[in-house]
Chains A and B, each alone.
Chain A
Amino acid sequence: MKRQLHAITVGALCVLGTYCPAGLVSAAENENDRVTALEQKLDRSLKLIEQLTARVKELEAQRAGTAASAQNVPPAPPAESSPQIQQRLDSVEQQLTQITDSNAARGGGGAGVPLHGFADIGIGNHTANEPGLQGANVGALDMYLNPQLGEHTRALFELTFEVDQQGQVAPDLERAQIGYQFSDAATVWIGRFHTPFGYYNTAFHHGQQIATSLRRPRFILFEDQGGVMPNHTVGAWFTGAEPLTDGKATYDLFVGNGQAISDGEIDPRSGGVDHGGAIYGGNLGYVFGETLNGLKMGVSAFRSKITNDQPYVNFTRVDNVGVYFAYDTDRFEHIGEYYRFSDSGLTPVGPTHKSSAGFLQLAWRLPIATPYARYERAALNQSDTYFAAQTEGMSYYRDAVGLRFDIDLKSALKFELGHTKNTDRLVQEWNDVLMDYAIRF
C-alpha cells in the first residue's frame, strides 16, 4: 500500500512539475505535441488524484472499523480533501493556457499561421477623427499575420477593416511586407510598410490597443483619416541596429513609389506609379543603454515627388526633415517629434513653401491608470499645393489630456478631453469628450 501511494504521488507530482525523477519526463518533439501531452497528463493526474482520495478515505474508514465498503465511498473532489493539490492543479491549468497562448502567438510547428488582431469601439460628442460625426462609432478591425518562414525570411501582413464617414466598411491592406534578415544589423523588406520617419509612425500602427493615447496626433493620422504625412510607402526598406559602447545605433533607408493626392487624400500608390516619381529617405537613431535607459533620439528625412488629380497635374517635390525623441520606461512614456517641410512646385515651377508640424506627449504609467497629456501644432502653408490639395491639409493646434485604464493584458479603456482649433482655410474650433474601448487578440 505504501509503495502504491508513493507511486501515485510521484506520478502526480511529476505531472505537476514539482518533482520528477529523471527518466519519467517524456519530452515531446514539438510544442504542440507537448501541449497535447500535457493536457492528457493533466486529465490522468486528475483521475489519479480522485483515485488517491477515494483510496485514502477507504483506508481511513477501514481503520476506524466502519463497515462502509470502498464502493460506497463517493470520491470527494480534490478541492475538499487537498487544497494544496487543487492549488497546484489550478496552477498547471493556468500554465497550460499560457503555453497554448504563447505557442499560438509564436506560430511554430505545423498548426498553421496564427491570426492576431486589434479592434476598438469609440463613443463621444465627436468621433475621434471626424469632428462632424458624433455618438458611437466602430473604430477598426485590424488583423495581422507574421508567419515563421525560416531562419532569415520574415513576413508581416496587416489587413484592416474600417468604417468610413458614410458608414461603409472599407478593407485596406495596410502592410504587406516580406523581408530577409541578414543579421541583427541588417534586414531588407520589400512591400508596403510604414514610412520610417520619426518615431511614432513605426512604433504605433493601426491597432489602437497598444498605443497609450486614444488617437494618433492629427497630422500623423493615416492617409484615409486625414493625415498629411505619407505614412505608407510601397517599395524597399533597409533597416537594422548596431550595438555601441552604451546603447545602439539604429538606421533606416527606404525608397518607394512617389505618392499621389487623390480625392483629397494621400495615396501610397500600392499598385505602382504612372509618373515615375519616387520617395526616398532615411532615419538615424540612437537608443541609450544603461546611462539613460529607455531613451531614443534621432533624425529623419525624406524627399518625395508627389502628384495630384487636378485636371492639369501638379508635381510637387516634398522635402521633410524631422527630429524626435522617445523616453519609454516602466514609469513613463514621453514622445516628441518636430518636422519641417520645404516643398517646391515642379510642374508648374513654383517657389519653395515652408511648413512645420510637431507634437509633445507625456504619459505616466501609474499602477491603476496611465494619464497622459499632448500638445500638437501644425502650421501648414496653404500656398503649398501639397497641403492645399489635401482635404485636411489645414493648420491647427490641439491640446488634450487623457486617461488609459488597462482592464487586463488585452484590453484598455481610454478617455480623452481635447480642444482643437483649425487656424486657417476654415477656421473653427471644438472640444472633444471621447471614450474608446480597445482590445487585442
Chain B
Amino acid sequence: MADKIVTANRLNDGLVVYLNGAGWSERIEDARIAGDDAAADGLLAEAEGQGQEIRVVEPYLIEVALEGAGPRPVSYREAIRAKGPTVRLDLGKQADFA
C-alpha cells in the first residue's frame, strides 16, 4: 500500500489542513503518515472522531510519496491543494509558507 495521510478543509476558514500529531496543520510537511491499511484506517477514524466536526469538513485519505522535504501528494489535484492555484503563485500556501 502507498503511504497515506489525512486531509480536510478547516471548518471556520475553509483552508486545507492535514492531520498531524497534535491536531491539524496547514503544512503538509507536518502530516502524520500511515504506512499500511490499518494505520490509514486509524488516522481516518481519528479525523472523523468526536469533536472533529467542529474543526474540519469531510476528511479523507490521500496517497503520498515520501521525499526529503516531506510527503508529496501523488495526485495532481492534491498537489495543487497543497500549494495553491498554479496561476497565482502569490496566493495559498506556496505564498504563505514561502
Chains A and B bind each other: no
